[in-house]
Amino acid sequence: MTRPTLQVALDILELHRARQIAREAMAGGADWIEVGTPLIKSEGMAAVRDLREAFPRTEVVADMKIADTGTMEVEMAAKAGASIVCVLGDADDTVIAECVRAARLYGVRIMADLINVADPVGRARELESLGVDIINAHVGIDQQMIGKSSVDLLRSLAGEVSLPLAVAGGLDAETAAQAVAAGADIVIVGGWIVRSGDVEGSAARIRAAIDAPAIAPAKKKSLEEEIRSLFLQVSAPNVTDAMHRKGAMSGLIPLTFGVKAVGPAVTVQTFAGDWAKPVEAIDLCRPGDVLVIYNSAATHVAPWGELATRSAINRGIAGVIIDGATRDVDDIRALKYPLFARACVPNAGEPKGFGEINAEIPCCGQQVRPGDWIVADESGVVVVPKERAYEVARRALEVKKNEERVRAEIERGSTLSAVSELYKWEKK
Ligand SMILES: O=C([C@H](O)CO)[C@H](O)[C@H](O)COP(=O)(O)O
């Protein structure tokens, strides 16, 4: 088997950072450099020129995602120094044919990207007959967030075309190895390398994985397990960032430090100090649920305390959020239990039995339905609509990964303003 090619996709907005990240990725074992679409949109052909100059002996791939004016775009990328130019596989045949003609004239190759193509196998065959040089089984970043897999797309193409096959979309060391086992000649990795805090090390891990692909049988998780494991890896701020600054409850205090609560909500609506429904709800929760209580935002009387907390622990409840007050905070802290409330007050209420369990409730400025996901840590509490839980969890992990490389650059002595070219990107 020939050694698979590792193409690092520089999906970075700032050229000075892209150049340095490319150096580190090459040191880790990358073969080809891709000037990613976001970099091309941010810096134009200057980015292709710059990276060609910095890496004179490397294949430089311009991810132009050409949709029209094939000749003009291939020509500009080729003249700037690209040796491979990407066209959308979904572009009209006239565009593909023009790209191929221009590529022959300028001595470059064409990679056709199957992102969003309805019939990938049929289109890959057509693209081959139109003369493209490489087919890319690509699942875009937004599509990855709803669980689409580039390795599955690649598998569907195996043996269908005789062109070299590339694969791109959310690959890490494990899935990159699976892609090679499924027939990938070129493995394209963006985020997992370029957003990592250790770019060289991450590239080296992918290199090792694709050079000797050892496939461990994947353990299938349920969707709920998958969502939980993703949310456990991120913070509440990562989650609101992923939701375009939505979902955060306001006015809650984390009463226990160093703990986190993640899980689907069981909701309780009740009147100030009436603790019957909150305590009955404990027995209805499944292990891993989060109990969310609307207690009329009252801060003078508590529907919750130590004995309820001990009961919640016995049921495996992941945490409790109260739009209202709690008492027994010292005991609850000693139990290291994740509890978030508006206030602490010693007054107990009474078990009158008003209210209901598992109806939609307001909670600290947000609406919460049973089954919506809660992510709570020392920064606060976020609610995620159940229909978008997987997607938001994936996006939150992307937010976290994005911060890793930026953090590493600040640790090396830079500042947030310099790393992000803040003045340049202020709204004009
Ligand atoms: O082509 C890409 C995407 O459409 C953004 O331009 C990425 O380079 C490609 O998906 C690889 O990046 P990751 O998915 O982050 O590995």
Please indicate, yes or no, whether residues 275 and 326 belong to a single structural domain of this protein.
yes
Mean pLDDT of 93-118: 98
Please indicate, yes or no, whether residues 236 and 378 belong to a single structural domain of this protein.
yes
How many structural domains does the chain have? 2
**400, part of any domain:** no
CA distance 277 to 282: 9
Please indicate, yes or no, whether residues 245 and 189 belong to a single structural domain of this protein.
no
Please indicate, yes or no, whether residues 23 and 127 belong to a single structural domain of this protein.
yes
Please indicate, yes or no, whether residues 202 and 233 belong to a single structural domain of this protein.
no
Please indicate, yes or no, whether residues 173 and 47 belong to a single structural domain of this protein.
yes
pLDDT at 215: 72
Please indicate, yes or no, whether residues 273 and 384 belong to a single structural domain of this protein.
yes
165-200 pLDDT, tens digit each? 999 999 999 999 999 999 999 999 999 999 999 999
Provide the whole-model pTM. 0.90
Mean pLDDT of 300-324: 97
CATH of the domain at 380: 3.50.30.40
Taking CB atoms and a 6 Å cutoff, what residues make up the pocket around ligand 1?
9, 11, 36-38, 63, 140-141, 168-171, 188-192
Q: Is the ipTM of this complex over 0.95?
A: yes
Residue 1 confidence (pLDDT) above 70: no
Shortest-distance Cα residue to atom 11 of ligand 1: 190
Please indicate, yes or no, whether residues 176 and 247 belong to a single structural domain of this protein.
no
**421, part of any domain:** no
Please indicate, yes or no, whether residues 18 and 143 belong to a single structural domain of this protein.
yes
249-276 pLDDT, tens digit each? 999 999 999 999 999 999 999 999 999 9
15-58 pLDDT, tens digit each? 999 999 999 999 999 999 999 999 999 999 999 999 999 999 99
Backbone φ/ψ region at 229: left (φ over 0), alpha (ψ -120 to 50), beta: alpha
Burial of 362: CB neighbours in 10 Å, binned 0-12, 13-18, 19+: middle
How much distance in Å is there from the Cα of 309 to the middle of ligand 1?
46
How much distance in Å is there from the Cα of 416 to the middle of ligand 1?
24
CA distance 142 to 140: 6
Residue 187 domain boundaries: 5-211
**426, part of any domain:** no
Question: Of 60, 99, 142, nearest to 392 (Cα)?
Answer: 142
**Percent of the chain with pLDDT strictly greater than 70:** 99
**115, part of any domain:** yes
Question: b/e for 52-74, b at 16 or more Cβ within 10 A?
Answer: bebbeebbbbbbbbbeeebbebb
**308, part of any domain:** yes
**401, part of any domain:** no
For residue 157, which phi and psi values (nearest 5 degrees)?
-95, -15
CATH of the domain at 170: 3.20.20.70
State which ligand 1 atom lies nearest to the alpha carbon of 169: 14
